[in-house]
Structure 1
Amino acid sequence: MTTIADAFAAAYGRAPEGVWSAPGRVNLIGEHTDYNNGFVLPFAIDYRTQAAIARREDREIHLRSTFADGEVVASLDALDPATMDGWSAYVLGVAWAAADAGVSMEGAFGLDILIDSRVPVGAGLSSSAALECAAGVAFNDLWGWDLDKLAIARLGRVAENTAVGAPTGLLDQAASMLGKEDHVVFLDCLTEEARPVPLHLREEGLGILVMNSNVEHEHATGGYGDRFRSCERGAKELGVESLREVDRDGLERALEVLDAETLRRVRHVVTENERVLATVDTLEEHGPRALGPLLDASQESMRDDFEITVREIDLACEAAVAGGAIGARMTGGGFGGSSIALVPLDKADAIADAVRAALAQAGLREPTIFPVVPSEGARRDS
């Protein structure tokens, strides 16, 4: 089996100095709350992006990947997000974000980089954050930035917002950096305080299935940006800095102030924040088998109030629950991508079969269904 170190040697004619990696993520609950300064509850998954790297004697980054032809070359002295595009923007954008934040690049040397990713692209599992965070931990080690994990996550978010142009919050990068085996990451996106919360999946005989609809989405354009702007509009019309400040009582006032569509968007964010907090309490007091109603309510809110699901997602969730799943919901930004189902391990195959059968009967495209395991965050592998 060819390793990324072998592939690097074939590409650059020498061995890499090291290999760094970062995982994709699944969001257990808390969708579109991050950029509203709310609460999220993601976890890192056992699908990772690797970066094999060796230093150069100049100040150029030479960037290649196993999934695209050609080489991207950029100078550390001329990094400009306006000129970055494609997948390389996720890597170069992190270096630019660090310099823009005041991290010294004076002693930085050039790098040869080869990227290999096992995180499914377009599935809503944040292959982008995995790429940013793998680059971030590598740069941090090689260039001696001495940044903590959350600081690296912030650089990844800035790269995605500015170099890529996707208006995302900190959820994806925080999960990729802070992941812990059999835990979710409870993140307060206002204070940026984070702590691991045990999932107890193994001892309860439970697992999580990802049900990829194979309907691809693109965050930098379309509906995601529309929802972002709708939330901004709702906050402004309610006279608050962010929707984090709106509670159930605030929704009563929103009935009088907001148009019907903006009201639905705001209601999703407010109730989703409540569901995240309730999920943390439920995990700590009752365990994962009690999460079903919260997961299902989140799915309904994304479907009806935020309107970010597609028929393939809705039917997969319905079929999974009917087939014996504890709960199911869309995960990620929406407009395609994936849903997740919390399932008893002894029923996982039957539930997956039921979902495939339901979509086939409806004449919809076949989903790709696979298990994910809550795993460790970004690290140096070798």
Structure 2
Amino acid sequence: MNAGYQQLIAKTAKAFEETFGKPAEHFFQAPGRVNLIGEHTDYNDGFVLPCAIDYGTVVAASLREDDKIILVAADYDNSRSEFDLNQPLEKMAGDQFWSNYVRGMVQAFHKSGYKLRGMNLVIAGNVPQGTGLSSSASLETVTGLTLCTLSDIAISNSELALAGQCSENNFVGSNTGIMDQMISASGEEGHALLLDCRSLETKAISIPAGSAVVIINSNVKRGLVDSEYNTRRQQCEQAAQVMGVKALRDADMALLEQHSTQMDDVTFRRARHVITENDRTLAATEALASGNLADMGRLMAASHISMRDDFEITVSAIDALVEIVGAAISNGGVRMTGGGFGGCIVALVPESDVETVRQAVEEHYEDRTGLKADMYVCVACDGASKLEGAIR
């Protein structure tokens, strides 16, 4: 367990005892994630290749004798939110909006017929928020695991992930795919995970020894993300309808070219990105499995160009950051990661390149953009779990 998780355990344990007057009996964690390749393919029933990262969310928990859920957010000055499991769930706004991710999980489990028990939960996390590293999925996954474990409900990783997606789509109101929750639930140490977003089948792909997963936050404030995301989703659905397929997963470039005159240029390019990105993701799986960082780098570069030119979700600062890192590395690759319009880039590079990358970003990024970047060197880690023997 790394120092970051130790700090989160200590933070939640302290807040729990201060709030409830006795120590927490259980601790759980779920990680954030970074997607190495496969962007905007998940809601098109396609393929993604994320890994769980060693930044996440921790919950300190104990059962109650009644049917109340009491939530405390240790990261928000111990802000408190509570509700009764026997009453209709209310969507919260303002400084209690964070509780909707938990309330949504409760609603999803109720709709599945599960009987939950009352409990006290204190929550803290260190996934950078608003960066596309899935702090929300980490929160949903860890609270879902906590709710089920303490209610004696056996649940699979895919069921846990689907409940998280249901929470986000139907309660919180964000129309996301399944990737974020699935990798948070199912990550494996030292591996990326090839996820088939239609079948939810997964395959662990070893990340080559001596490689580093480097995430760099551009610190571009992400505007219009939800509206642009929904627009692109609609464009993808329109393209699939024109081609007569269930989803863009079922199309290839030959079929797209055949129907090119039946859609406008923008819709055509949106579909081209998804179709070629699925191909790149499957090829990247083979490159990674064989330890071929050079091929992985070429595929990541092509992915970024496609996101920039066809899907049009990058911004100038992100493109500059990719150029700076790309020029600094000796092997591997770099691309934007996440929904777009700001957020982070991801680089998969030899560990020996990390300091060179850090220096290049410090020397050139602010000069080119007026912004300062934050860099995280990550380890691919296991998915959600109960923390046995946590320090209290």
Which of the five TM-score ranges fits, normalised by the shorter chain?
Answer: over 0.9
CA distance in 1, matches of 2:240, 2:26: 46
Mapping for residues 197-212 of structure 1, pairs under 5 Å: 197-200=205-208, 202=209, 205-212=210-217
- Give the match for residue 98 of structure 2: 87
Q: Is the CA contact 1:312–1:364 (under 8 Å) kept in the aligned structure 2?
A: no
TM-score, L = length of structure 1:
0.94
Distance 1:287 1:50, change over 3 A: same
Mapping for residues 22-61 of structure 1, pairs under 5 Å: 22-61=30-69
Shift of 1:31: 0.6
Q: Choose which of 332, 337, 340 in structure 2 pairs with 1:331.
A: 337
Give the paired residue count.
376
Identity %: 39
- Give the match for residue 260 of structure 1: 265
Unpaired segments of 5 or more residues in structure 1?
none
Q: Report whether the alignment pairs 1:304 with 2:343.
A: no
Q: Choose which of 49, 64, 78 in structure 1 pairs with 2:87.
A: 78
Give SS of 2:222's match. coil
| Partner AA of 2:180 in structure 1 | D
**Which sits farther off after the overlay, 215-224 or 159-168?**
215-224
- Give the match for residue 385 of structure 2: 379
Shift of 1:286: 4.5
CA distance in 2, matches of 1:83, 1:369: 33
Q: Is the CA contact 1:124–1:331 (under 8 Å) kept in the aligned structure 2?
A: yes
CA distance in 1, matches of 2:52, 2:371: 27
Q: Report whether the alignment pairs 1:165 with 2:176.
A: no
CA distance in 1, matches of 2:117, 2:204: 35
TM-score, L = length of structure 2:
0.92
Q: Report whether the alignment pairs 1:213 with 2:218.
A: yes
CA distance in 2, matches of 1:9, 1:376: 28
Q: Is the CA contact 2:293–2:349 (under 8 Å) kept in the aligned structure 1?
A: no
Distance 1:58 1:48, change over 3 A: same
Offset from partner CA, 1:106-150 (integer Å, 9 cap, x none): xx3211111000111011100011000101111121112211111
- Give the match for residue 134 of structure 2: 126
Q: Report whether the alignment pairs 1:141 with 2:149.
A: yes
- Give the match for residue 72 of structure 2: 64
Give SS of 1:340's match. strand
| Partner AA of 1:258 in structure 2 | M
Give SS of 1:353's match. helix
Q: Report whether the alignment pairs 1:369 with 2:380.
A: no
- Give the match for residue 185 of structure 1: 193
Q: Segments of 4+ in structure 1 off by > 6 A?
A: none
Q: Is the CA contact 2:216–2:375 (under 8 Å) kept in the aligned structure 1?
A: yes
- Give the match for residue 274 of structure 1: 279
CA distance in 1, matches of 2:135, 2:317: 21
Shift of 1:354: 1.1
Shift of 1:289: 4.2
Distance 1:81 1:304, change over 3 A: farther
Superposition CA RMSD, Å: 1.7
Shift of 1:80: 3.2
Offset from partner CA, 1:184-230 (integer Å, 9 cap, x none): 11111111111211112x2xx22121110112337872211221121
Unpaired segments of 5 or more residues in structure 2?
1-6
